[in-house]
A and B are shown apart, each in its own frame.
Chain A
Amino acid sequence: MIPELGHYALVLALGLGLIQSVAPIVGAKTRDAALMRLATSTALMQFVLVALSFAALVTCYVTSDFSVKTVFENSHSLMPLIYKFTSVWGNHEGSMLLWVLILSLFGAFVAAFGTNLPATLKAHVLAVQSWIAVAFYLFILLTSNPFLRLVQPPIEGRDLNPILQDLGLAIHPPLLYLGYVGFSISFSFAIAALIEGRIDAAWARWVRPWTLMAWMALTVGIAMGSYWAYYTLGWGGFWFWDPVENASLMPWLAGTALLHSAVVMEKRNALKVWTILLAILTFSLSLIGTFLVRSGVLTSVHSFANDPARGVFILGILVLFIGGGLSLFAWRSSTLKQGGLFAPISREGSLVFNNLFLTTACLTVFVGTLYPLALEALTGSKISVGGPFFNLTFGPLFVALMFAMPFGPLLAWKRGDLLGVAQRLMTAFAVGLVAVAAAFAIKGRGSVLAPFGVGLAFYVMMGAIVDLVERTGLMRLPMATVRTRALGLPRSAWGTAVAHFGIAVSMLGIISAGTWGTERIVAVNPGQTVSLSGYDLTFDGVIERTGPNYNAQVAMFTVREGGVVLGVMEPSKRNFSARATSTNEAALMARGAGQLYLSLGDSNKDGSIAIRLYYKPLVMLIWLGALVMMFGGALSLSDRRLRVGAPKPAARSVLQPAE
Chain B
Amino acid sequence: MTRKQRRLILIGGSIGVLGLAIGLVLNALSGSIVFFNSPTDIKEKQIAAGTRVRIGGLVKDGSVQRGDNLRIRFEVTDGKNDVPVKFQGIVPDLFREGQGVVAEGKLEPGGILDADTVLAKHDERYMPKEVVDALKKSGRWEESEGRLAGGKTP
Q: Give A contacts to B, CB under 8 Å.
A: 161-163, 229, 233, 235, 237, 240, 242, 296, 299-306, 341-344, 352-353, 356-357, 360-361, 363-364, 367-368, 371-372, 381-386, 388-390, 392-393, 396-397, 521-523, 573, 579-582, 584, 601-602, 604, 610-612
Contacts and interface: CB of A to CB of B under 8 A. Distances in A.
A601 B95 CA distance: 11
A579 B123 contact: yes
B93 A582 contact: yes
Given A383-B34, A579-B124, A352 B149 contact: no
Contacts of B34: 383-384, 386
Contacts of B89: 521
A388 B25 CA distance: 11
Contact of A523 (B18, B70, B150, B152): B70
8 contacts: A300-B151, A343-B1, A383-B34, A393-B25, A393-B28, A523-B69, A602-B91, A610-B70
Given A352-B10, A384-B54, 19 more contacts: A163-B152, A240-B154, A306-B149, A344-B6, A344-B9, A353-B13, A356-B13, A357-B17, A360-B18, A360-B20, A363-B21, A371-B29, A382-B35, A382-B54, A383-B36, A386-B34, A389-B29, A392-B28, A393-B28
Given A233-B154, A304-B149, A581 B123 contact: yes
A600 B91 CA distance: 11
Interface of B: 1, 3, 6, 9-10, 13-14, 17-18, 20-21, 24-25, 27-29, 31-36, 54, 66, 69-70, 88-91, 93-94, 104, 122-124, 126, 128-130, 133, 147-154
B21 A389 contact: no
B87 to A, nearest CB: 11
A305 B149 CA distance: 5
A63 B121 CA distance: 32
Contact of A612 (B3, B90, B130, B147): B90
B91 A397 contact: no
Contact of A364 (B24, B94, B152): B24
What are the 10 closest A-B residue pairs judged by CB atoms, nearest first? A601-B90, A382-B36, A388-B32, A301-B152, A392-B28, A393-B24, A581-B123, A360-B21, A389-B28, A299-B129
B153 A299 contact: yes
A364 B150 CA distance: 28
A299 B126 contact: yes
A300 B152 contact: yes
A301 B122 contact: yes
B25 to A, nearest CB: 5
Of B17, B66, B91, most buried by chain A (CB within 10 Å of CB) is B17
B116 to A, nearest CB: 12
